[in-house]
Amino acid sequence: MGPALSKIDREHPPQLAYGTAGFRCDATQLVIAMERVGMLAALRSRDRDGLKIGVMVTASHNPHRDNGVKIVDPTGAMLAQAWESKAEKVACCPESQLLETLASVAEGEAASASVVIGRDTRAHSRALSQRVRAGAEALGARVEDVGVVTTPQLHHCVRAANGFSPVVKGPLYGYADALVDAFEALLKTSPHKTGRPDSTVVVDCAGGVGAFGIHQLRRRLEERGLASVLSLRAANIVREAPLNHQCGAEHVQKQRLPPKNLSRRDLGAPNLRGCSVDGDADRLVYWFHGLSNFEIVDGDKIASLLAVFIARELAAAQPLIGTPSLGVVQTAYANGAAAAFLRERRVEVAFAKTGVKYVHHAAEAFDVGVYFEANGHGTVLVKEALRARLAQLDSEPGTGGRARLAVSRLHAVARLANQSVGDALADLLLVEAVLCLQQKSIAAWGALYDELPSRQLKQRVASRALLEPNATETRLVAPAALQAKIDALAASHKSGRAFVRPSGTEDVVRVYAEAATRRDADALALEVRRAVFDLAGGLGERP
C-alpha cells in the first residue's frame, strides 16, 4: 500500500485535481485524500437532505499501481461540478486547516448523512476504501460497504437506494436481475426464433471486476433459458491476467490489437465475436476477426447501431407518443464517417467538449440522447417524462400493431440502458438484443460505414494558455491565424478534417487529423503540427 499512515506529512498532502475521473494517481499518494473524500461525501449527503452519496474506489483503465476515487450524487449521476473544487480544497488542505476548510464547504443542514462505498479489485482498494469509511464515520455518516463492484453497479446502488429507479429484489439492489429482465423484454418483441448460431460472446474482462458482473449475468441468462440467445464466456478474469495489461477496452481500442491471454478458440472461431471492458467495466468495445484482419467495433459504431434502431422505433411509435427528440452527442475525436452516416439517416448529431461529464450533460438536452466516446464509454439517456409515458402505454392492455410493438421496444431500451453513467454490462446486453432483433452479424455491424483514417500527434509549446478552443473544442477561438491555417490545410485533402486542443495537464497541444486515405491523414496531422509550432510558440525542432 505504501508509506505507513503515521509517516505521511499531513501538513503537506499531495496536491490533486478532481477531474472527469475524480482523483486518480499512484495509490501511495491517496491515503489522506481518501479520508477527506469520505468526509466530503458526508457533507454532500447532508447538503442533499441526507440522501445516500456514493464513493467508488477505482482507477478504471489505469495500471494496477494507480488508484482513484469517484463521488456519486444521489441520482446516480457524477458529482455536481460545483462540488469538484470543494473536493480539491478538502483533499489538499493542510491538516491544521482541515476543520476550517470543512466548515467552509459545508452547505446542508440535514441531521444525518449516509455514504455507500464500492471498490475494484486492485490490491490496495480495500485499504483505501477503509480510509474512506473512516473519514465518513468521523463526521457521523452511516456507511454501507457494497464491496467489490463495477463502477456502474455502484451508481445503480446509489440511484436505487435513493428511490430514483425501481428496485428489483436481489443482490446489489437487483442490478443483474433488472438488466436481464429488460433484456428479455426486448427479445420478446422479436419475430425471429429465440436461438442463434452465433450466441457466444467472449468477454475480455481486463483482469478486473467486470468478470464478477459477467458471471452474474451469465447465471441469470441460463436460469431464464436465454443461453441459446446469448452465452457469455469470461476471459482475462481476476488473477488470470494483470489488470489492464495488454487487455481490456483501453488496450484494444487505442492499440488496435487483440487482448492477450486468449486462446485460438477465443479469437478465431467462425461466427465468434468478442468484446472488451475496462478495469471497472464502464467501457465496452467489440472485436472480431475478419477475412484477414483483427477488426474493432468501437464506441462510434455502438452509438450508430443504437441510434438508428431507436430512430426507427420512435418513428413507428409516433401515433402513440408523438415526436420525441433524438440526438447523438459526439466529441471532436469521433470519426467523421460516423457523423456522416447518422446525418444521412436524419439523426441529429451534436458535439460536446471532450470528457464524459460534458457529453452526458449535452445528451440530457434530448428526449432520447445517445452518447458514446470512441473508447466505448456511453449509454442511452431517456427523459423521465418519456420513460413514464412508455411505461404507462406498455402496461395498458390493447391490440398489437407496429406502434405498440415500438413502444414495448423503447420501454425495454429505457429500462436496460444505464441512466446515470456508461455501463459496459448494460451496453453489452443492449447491443446483443438489437443485433438479435435485426438478425445482424458483427461483420455486418462493423461494415455500417468505412471509418476515415485518422492520426493523432502532439506538439510541445511554451504555454498551452495561448490556445483558446471553442466550447466543443472543435475549433480555436485564438490564435485566429492558426485556425485559419488549419482550415486551409484540411481543405487541401479529400475529406480532410483537423483540430487542435491544449492538454489539460501539460504544455502540449494535441493534434487530430483525418482524411480519405491513410497517407493524407498522416500528412495532414504533420502539417497541422508544423502550423502549431510556427504560430503557437512551439518548442524543440520544427516537425
At 363-385, the pLDDT tens digits run: 999 999 999 999 999 999 999 99
pLDDT band for 266, please (50, 70, 90 cuts). low
Query: Would you state the cell numbers that stand for residue 142, as one nine-digit string?
Result: 452511516
Share of the chain above pLDDT 90, in %: 76
What CATH number should be reported for the domain whose range is 454-535?
3.30.310.50
Confidence of residue 1 (pLDDT cuts 50, 70, 90): very low
Segment 430-456 mean pLDDT? 94
264 is in an annotated binding site: no
Q: CA-CA distance, 257 to 255, in Å (whole number)? A: 5
**Which one is the CATH code of 5-148: 3.40.120.10, 3.60.15.10, 3.40.140.10, 3.40.50.2300?**
3.40.120.10
What is the pLDDT, as a whole number, of residue 249?
93
Is residue 395 predicted with pLDDT exceeding 60?
A: yes
Quickly state the pLDDT bin for 193 (edges 50, 70, 90). Answer: low
**What does the pLDDT read at residue 6?**
42
395 or 398: whose pLDDT is higher? 395
Higher local confidence (pLDDT), 485 or 198: 485
pLDDT at 265 over 80: no
Q: What is the pLDDT of residue 292?
A: 65
Q: Give yes or no for residue 400 having a pLDDT over 80.
A: no
Question: Of 60, 114, 125, 165, which residue is the catalytic one?
Answer: 60
Which cell goes with 469? 478552443
Amino acid at 516: A
Residue 374 is assigned to a ligand binding site: yes
For 61-105, what is the HEC assignment?
A: CCCCCEEEEEEECCCCCECCHHHHHHHHHHHHCCHHHHHHHHHHH
pLDDT band at 269 (very low <50, low <70, confident <90, very high): low
Least confident of 10-19, 44-53, 212-221, 490-499: 10-19
Kindly tell me the sign of the dihedral angle through the C-alpha atoms of 186, 188, 193, 196: positive
Pairwise pLDDT comparison (342 vs 264), residue with the higher score: 342
Query: Annotated binding residue at 280?
Result: yes
DSSP symbol at 500: E
The pLDDT mean for the chain works out to 91
Q: Domain boundaries in the chain?
A: 5-148, 171-290, 300-431, 454-535
Percent of the chain residues topping a pLDDT of 70: 95
**How much is the pLDDT for 206?**
94
Is 199 annotated in a binding site? The answer is: no
**Residue 144 assigned as binding residue:** no
DSSP H/E element including 468: strand 468-469
Among 132-136, 221-225, 252-256, 372-376, whose mean pLDDT is lowest? 252-256
- 502 appears as a binding residue in the annotation: yes
Is the pLDDT higher at 184 or at 270?
Answer: 184
Domain 300-431 -> CATH class: alpha beta
- Tell me the per-residue pLDDT of 53-103, one tens digit each, with 9 for 90 and over: 999 999 988 888 999 999 999 999 999 989 999 999 999 999 999 999 999
* pLDDT tier, 5 (very low <50, low <70, confident <90, very high otherwise): very low
Q: Which residue has the higher pLDDT, 465 or 345?
A: 345
Of 432 and 10, the one with more pLDDT: 432
The matching CATH number, chosen from 3.10.450, 1.10.3470, 3.40.120, 3.30.160, for 171-290 is: 3.40.120
- b (16+ CB within 10 A) / e for 158-178: bbbbbebbebbeeebbbbbbb
8 pLDDT band, cuts 50/70/90, is: low
The contacts of residue 457 (CB under 8 Å, 6+ apart) are: 510, 511, 513, 525, 526, 528, 529
Residue 190 labelled as part of a binding site: no
- pLDDT category, 4, cuts 50, 70, 90? very low
Is pLDDT at 3 greater than 70 in this prediction?
A: no
pLDDT of residue 238: 86
Cis peptide, bond prior to residue 191, ω within 30 of zero:
no
Q: How far apart are CA 204 and CA 234, in angstroms?
A: 6
Mean pLDDT over 247-261 rounds to: 89
Is 373 labelled a binding residue? yes
**Residue 376 pLDDT:** 94
Q: pLDDT at position 541, please?
A: 81
Q: What angle do CA 372, 376, 380 make, to 5 degrees?
A: 35
Helix, coil or strand: residue 525: helix
pLDDT tens digits, 299-316: 999 999 999 999 999 999
How far is residue 320's CA from residue 406's CA, in Å, rounded to a whole number? 10
- Is 60 one of the annotated active-site residues of the chain? yes
Predicted confidence at residue 241, as pLDDT, reads: 79
**Residues 102-138 pLDDT 10s:** 999 888 777 899 999 999 999 999 999 999 999 999 9
Compute the C-alpha angle 131/158/414, nearest 5°: 145
Annotated binding residue 504: yes
Q: List the beta strands (DSSP E) in 157-269.
A: 200-204, 231-235
Give the pLDDT score at 306: 98
| Fold agreement between 5-148 and 300-431 | yes
Question: Was 387 annotated as part of a binding site?
Answer: no
